[in-house]
Amino acid sequence: MQQDPPQDAGTRDQDIVELLRGGATEAAFERLIDRYESKVYRLCCSLLRDPDQAQDAAQESLVRVWKALAKYDQRASLSTWIYTITRNRCLTAIERRRDLDSLSDSEVQLQAEAAQAVGPEPEQDHLAMLRELVEALPERYRRVLTLFYYEERSVAEVALMLGQPEGTVKTNLHRARAALAEQLRALGLADPEFWLEKST
């Protein structure tokens, strides 16, 4: 699995675009998959919360990318184009199961449990509790926060993935953290030492 260093979206995929221009669509798609399959899957996980649905959505998105690759006209950067297809696919999936915000508490709980299965098993209770608090955040804050840590704290990448300006991402990140800190205060867990000691 290839991990590229963060680069400007306009220049990052120049090699793939060159392959497309040369008519080497299959080679371009291979390289695109190497570069984007994990990112697309993580975006789907963040938007859908359910690993199985995320896998289906990621695969369907990439099949769509494959089918439409010849139509890619470079008006948007390749990453923007791929993420837009992925988001649209996820939004369709979300619409199908109704809006997440209107889910009942039990369903949210189930999804939180499912999301836990995406990452490693939490070893400490307090980290599991922190995950639950994150899952309970308003959707726009939760998405930004999870993607921010999935993408190794890259605001630029999160902005690309969600199709939002970087300023919006930063604002939502700040608000998400503020909301979490507020909840920790309400629970009497706002002592920094508690989090530093327990999480090491």
Q: Which two tokens stand for residue 107?
A: 């369903």
Q: Which residue has the tokens 């990448």?
A: 157
Enter the DSSP assignment of 101.
G
Q: How far is the CB of 180 from another protein (least distance, A)?
A: 6
Nearer to another protein, 1 or 99 (CB): 1
Nearer to another protein, 73 or 102 (CB): 73
Q: Which amino acid is at 19?
A: L
Interacting residues with another protein (CB under 8 A): 1, 23, 25, 33, 37-38, 41-42, 45, 51, 54-55, 58-60, 62-63, 66-67, 69-71, 118-120, 122, 126-127, 130-131, 134, 145-146, 149-151, 153, 170, 173-174, 177-178, 180-181, 184, 190-196, 199
Nearer to another protein, 139 or 194 (CB): 194
Q: Which two tokens stand for residue 58?
A: 């990621």
Nearer to another protein, 70 or 91 (CB): 70
Q: Which two tokens stand for residue 56?
A: 């289906």
Q: How far is the CB of 149 from another protein (least distance, A)?
A: 4
Helix (H, G, I), strand (E, B) or coil at 20: helix
* Closest of 13, 25, 14 to residue 71, by C-alpha: 25
Q: Which two tokens stand for residue 184?
A: 């920790």
